[in-house]
Amino acid sequence: MAAHPENPLRRGLVRTKVADPCVIVVFGATGDLTHRKLLPALYRLGRRAELPARYAIVGFARREKTSEQFRAEVEASLRKYTGGAELDAAVWQSMSDGLFYHRSSFEDPAGYQRLRRFLDELDRTRGIQGNRVFYLATPPRAFDDIVEHLGAAGLVQPSSERPPWSRLVVEKPFGRDLSSGEQLNELVGRFFTEDQIYRIDHYLGKETVQNILVLRFANGLFEPVWNQKHVDHVQITVSEDLGVGLRGDYFEEVGILRDMVQNHMLQLVSLVAMEPPVALDADAVRDEKVKVLRALRVVEGQEALRHTARGQYGPGWIKGERVIGYRAEPRVAADSITETYVALKLFVDNWRWAGVPFYLRAGKRLAKRVTEIAIQFKDIPHLLFSDSQAGVAPNVLVLRIQPDEAISLRIGCKVPGPAVAVQPVRMEFLYGSAFGFEAPEAYERLLRDVLLGDATLFTRRDEVEAAWRWITPILESWSAAPPPQFPNYEAGSWGPQEARELIEADGRAWRYP
Ligand code: BG6
């Protein structure tokens, strides 16, 4: 395949929209997410000249500090988290000129009044025209206060598009189950209209995830076989070798079903299973995705237990190093029953996917870091090559999302020689070598879309609720039934025996990428 050496944006092949001037107010400005992801993404957008001509960033948090101190901390974080490259002095200078710190607790109404006066002043001094992005990068327990106070202080403009506009970006988790998810949506909906709300799922910002739609709908080859007539099953794996690190307290409250499946993995399921949208705009794409979520077969009680397997890691070895078990991690209960691994089987009950199982698995401290979607096609209807039967394997199309982004197709090939022997081989397309420029990171892409007012890659209210409607009965059946003896898998392995049994009971097997 011919590689394009240059970034098409630079060559002027792609028309880029220009973002309006605006201020970005980040709640939780001293937190990990802000320093590790958000500010580096804004800096990179600045380096690509994709920030508005006039903008400001206001960090809102409770710790005492001056704007000067905040700038110094941000500079240190950028040095650490922008890939070790030297900071571009001009880009940093212009970012730092527009970077401010606003100290307040999230509960104090006076803090929001002061914020309002400060933003009005920025409108005048920096020509921001009243446009505001409010970014909730705090733990979810602070969401209610922030949203209510923003509303009460008159900080929210009614429009999402026409200046002066306001947009709200909300980080996951959007609730803990269906009813809390609905409540959160109700609350946010009291002050912001749906088109002002950007619920972030960073998986949707990944290039390879966006490529699922391109692969499916920009090629004639795949769509005719993308259905129950030809597909035997789909496997989606999100395997991480990291443990929970310092996020033990967060993880204890959520577990991996809420942390990874409710959002990232169901988004992958939607993109793989959806019908072609009528257009590529935010509502057309999300209309099709939500239909998939609505078609998920709800399983409850014993059936939910049969369709799922839970795991928790014990001590083990990762990359030659001894690592501790989940229960020994900081801020984790010594008798925790939180799952760090889940495998499950789901069905999309519609014409296209009737009877095709989707097997999903996600886990911490597994053998390696890999995210992939594998579409396994049915066996051939008739076997010609009886002597070499062992070599014939079904075709598998793998979309590798990370770490080494690729698309590969397993096909049967003749082994050279006089005998007719068949061996599976891989045809592979590697992102890294096909395009000679660096793809934007997920947060970069998503923040850019917020600034441009494009919500296509954000989760709509009905999507979140449909996902919870399917997840909640599983959570309920788990809490009613005792978990397996935890820990039940060793760090560095491929997960618990229960997960193998789940898929092997159907005469199928997990892939070990
Ligand atoms: C986050 C989860 O949303 O995604 C983390 O909260 C997880 O637990 C992370 O580690 C994985 O993201 P990525 O981009 O590394 O696959």
Report how far ligand 1's centroid is from the alpha carbon of 33 (Å): 11
Burial category of 272 from C-beta neighbours within 10 Å (exposed 0-12, middle 13-18, buried 19 and up): buried
What is the DSSP pairing of strand 321-323 with strand 313-318?
Answer: antiparallel
User: Residue 411 is inside which H or E element, if any?
Assistant: strand 406-414
Q: Select from 124, 110, 126, 17 the least CA-distant residue to 449.
A: 17
User: How far is the C-alpha of 288 from the C-alpha of 133, rounded, in Å?
Assistant: 27
Report how far ligand 1's centroid is from the alpha carbon of 177 (Å): 19
Q: What is the model's pLDDT at position 269?
A: 98
- Protein residue whose Cα sits closest to atom 4 of ligand 1: 260
Residue 442 CA, closest ligand 1 atom number? 14
User: How far is the C-alpha of 403 from the C-alpha of 41, rounded, in Å?
Assistant: 19
User: Residue 146 is inside which H or E element, if any?
Assistant: helix 143-152
Encode pLDDT of 372-411 as tens digits.
999 999 999 888 877 656 678 999 999 999 998 999 999 9
Residue 401 CA, closest ligand 1 atom number? 16
| Ligand 1 lined by 259 (C-beta under 6 Å) | yes
Encode pLDDT of 463-499 as tens digits.
999 999 999 999 999 999 988 899 999 999 999 999 9
202 is catalytic: no
What is the DSSP pairing of strand 22-27 with strand 132-136?
Answer: parallel
Encode pLDDT of 132-144 as tens digits.
999 999 988 899 9
Ranges assigned E (strand) in 3-117: 22-27, 55-61, 99-103
- Protein residue whose Cα sits closest to atom 9 of ligand 1: 260
Residue 371 CA, closest ligand 1 atom number? 16
Q: What is the model's pLDDT at position 310?
A: 97
Q: What is the model's pLDDT at position 387?
A: 62
Report how far ligand 1's centroid is from the alpha carbon of 122 (Å): 35
Q: What is the model's pLDDT at position 10?
A: 46
Q: Catalytic residue, from 102, 149, 202, 264: name it.
A: 264
User: How far is the C-alpha of 191 from the C-alpha of 54, rounded, in Å?
Assistant: 26
| Residue 440's pLDDT band (cuts 50, 70, 90) | confident
Residue 9 has pLDDT above 90, yes or no: no
- The chain-wide mean pLDDT, for the chain, equals 93
- Protein residue whose Cα sits closest to atom 13 of ligand 1: 203
Q: How far is CA 446 from the centre of its chain?
A: 11
Q: Kindly report the number of other CB atoms within 10 A of residue 15's CB atom.
A: 6
| Residue the block writes with tokens 């903008």 | 55
Residue 3 has pLDDT above 50, yes or no: no
| Ligand 1 lined by 240 (C-beta under 6 Å) | yes
- Pure H helices in 296-405: 301-306
User: How far is the C-alpha of 315 from the C-alpha of 336, rounded, in Å?
Assistant: 14
Q: What is the model's pLDDT at position 194?
A: 96
User: How far is the C-alpha of 280 from the C-alpha of 307, rounded, in Å?
Assistant: 34
Q: What is the model's pLDDT at position 16?
A: 61
- Pure H helices in 48-108: 67-81, 89-97
Percent of the chain with pLDDT strictly greater than 90: 85
Report how far ligand 1's centroid is from the alpha carbon of 201 (Å): 10
- Mean pLDDT, range 312-324, rounded to an integer: 97
**Top mutation candidate among 259, 365, 366, 444 for ligand 1, by most atoms within 8 Å of CB:** 259
Residue 242 CA, closest ligand 1 atom number? 10
User: Residue 361 is inside which H or E element, if any?
Assistant: strand 357-363
User: How far is the C-alpha of 282 from the C-alpha of 464, rounded, in Å?
Assistant: 15
Residue 72 has pLDDT above 90, yes or no: yes
Residue 193 has pLDDT above 80, yes or no: yes
Residue 254 CA, closest ligand 1 atom number? 6
Report how far ligand 1's centroid is from the alpha carbon of 335 (Å): 24
The 3-state secondary structure of 454-468 reads CCCCCECHHHHHHHH
| Ligand 1 lined by 441 (C-beta under 6 Å) | no
Residue 11 has pLDDT above 90, yes or no: no
Q: What is the model's pLDDT at position 482?
A: 87
Q: What is the model's pLDDT at position 52?
A: 95
Q: What is the model's pLDDT at position 140?
A: 85
Backbone CA torsion sign across 274, 277, 281, 282? negative
Cα dihedral 472, 355, 295, 503, rounded to 10, equals 30
Report how far ligand 1's centroid is from the alpha carbon of 240 (Å): 9
User: How far is the C-alpha of 347 from the C-alpha of 354, rounded, in Å?
Assistant: 7
Encode pLDDT of 12-62 as tens digits.
444 467 899 999 999 999 999 999 999 999 999 999 999 999 999 999 999
| Residue 351's pLDDT band (cuts 50, 70, 90) | very high
